[in-house]
Structures are given as structure tokens and as C-alpha cells.
Amino acid sequence: MNPSNDNGGNPTASSSNRRRLFVANYDSSAFVLSAGSVLFRTHPETHQLQVCLVYNRKNGYWILPKGRKDQGEPMHITAVRETYEETGYPCVLHPCNMPTRSPPPGVELHPSAVLEAENICEPFAMTVRELKCGSLKTIWWFITWLKDNNAEKVVGTQMSSEQSYESSFRDIEAALQIMDATAFQEVLAKAVEIVQKSRESRPDHPHRL
């Protein structure tokens, strides 16, 4: 893994005074592609916005649902599948308003331009982590919603390595406190910000009360 500048590693006189951008190449044996989601619902009685957290009884850690993509599986499908497997709650991608650098289909957009898109299901965050073996792991984060806002938890969806997982919905303030100072705090806070702003800006939002 060798860093280089942004013109392919070939410095020129004109680039000598510019900040060099990091570039690294990894073959398929040296990176892990993962996806997860922040799962929301509104409480059936209080109508408060809630988020689903996962507690690992084995190590005492709180996490957000995520996992590796399967071969041939699109990342957004991975996020929904892993969320269902680890929490037991059926869920769907939830369209929100959010900033993105992804252009609309057929639209030319400068790579540095940021659009404020409406009702999209794009990744809202990405985690990049170096593993102990030196490989790189990326996690694409999506926003999901409990199916029909009232789907029951399904028992037995976890993989064998996830049998110690317990999932539960928590009010937003409590969830943020639980995740404070964890690796998931920023991801959760950003998802909450996006969902709350989307609800406020859309009078017809299906879960806006």
C-alpha cells in the first residue's frame, strides 16, 4: 500500500506546491465491504421517534446492525438484510432529504459539488477502518424504518456468531446517551439529524406526528 499524489503518483513541476492527496490500492483479498443501517420507528403509543440498538451480551458492547456483503449483493440490500438478521425486525430503506455527491441519473455534476437531494435512499455516512491484519474495512450506512412501523420481532434471525445479540428500540435521547463515546456515536447522531429534518420538511411524511 503506497500513498501517491492525485495525478497517479507522477509529480510534476505544477503539482510540487500542491497538497498531495492520499491514494492507495487494495486487491480483493485486502479489503472488506460492509453495510449497516440505523433503524427507526415511532413508538405505537407515545409516537416518539425511536432507534433500534443492539447489545452484545458477550462483550458488553452496544452496536448498530451491520455486516459484510454477500457475493453479488448490492450494498443497500446488504444493509437491510444485516439489520434484519441482527435485530430480528423486518425493515425497509427509508427515503430522506440529505446532502450527497451522487448526481441524479443523466446529470453531469462536478465531483466536489454537494447536492441537497430529496427523498433518496443513498448511504448517509461511511466508516473506514484499518483491521489488525492491515486490511481495510468500509461500512456504508443507510437509514431504514421498521416495516409498516409495527412489524413484530422475528426470533432466530441471527447467525451463530450473533446469538448473544439483544435488540431494542430506544427513545432518541436515551439512544444517543448509550452510544456516547462509542465508534457509532457520530453515525447515529447524523442519522437522527437527517431523519428529524426530513420529517419537519415533509408535511406528508408517513411517520410525522
The residues that bridge with 93 in the sheet, in sequence order, are 144
Q: What is the pLDDT of residues 66-116, one digit of tens each?
A: 999 999 999 999 999 999 999 999 999 999 999 999 999 999 999 999 999
pTM for this entry: 0.87
Q: What percent of the chain has pLDDT over 70?
A: 88
**Can you give the pLDDT at residue 114?**
96
Q: How far apart are CA 142 and CA 149, in angstroms?
A: 17
Closest CA to 172 of 147, 192, 197, 186: 192
For the chain, the average pLDDT equals 90
184 pLDDT above the threshold of 80: yes
Chosen CATH of 33-101+114-201 out of 3.40.640.10, 3.90.79.10, 3.30.9.10, 3.40.30.10: 3.90.79.10
- Collapsing DSSP states into helix, strand and coil, what is residue 9? coil
**Can you give the pLDDT at residue 92?**
98
Q: Which of the two residues, 126 and 201, has the higher pLDDT score?
A: 126
**Can you give the pLDDT at residue 11?**
41
Average pLDDT over residues 30-58: 97
Cell 425511536, located at residue:
50
**Lowest-pLDDT range, 12-21, 37-46, 114-123, 182-191?**
12-21
159 pLDDT above the threshold of 70: yes
Closest CA to 87 of 179, 167, 178, 175: 167
Residue 32: pLDDT band with limits 50, 70, 90: very high
**Can you give the pLDDT at residue 20?**
78
Instruction: Count CB-CB contacts under 10 A for residue 23.
Output: 14
Average pLDDT over residues 52-60: 95
For the chain, first and last CA: distance in Å?
A: 51
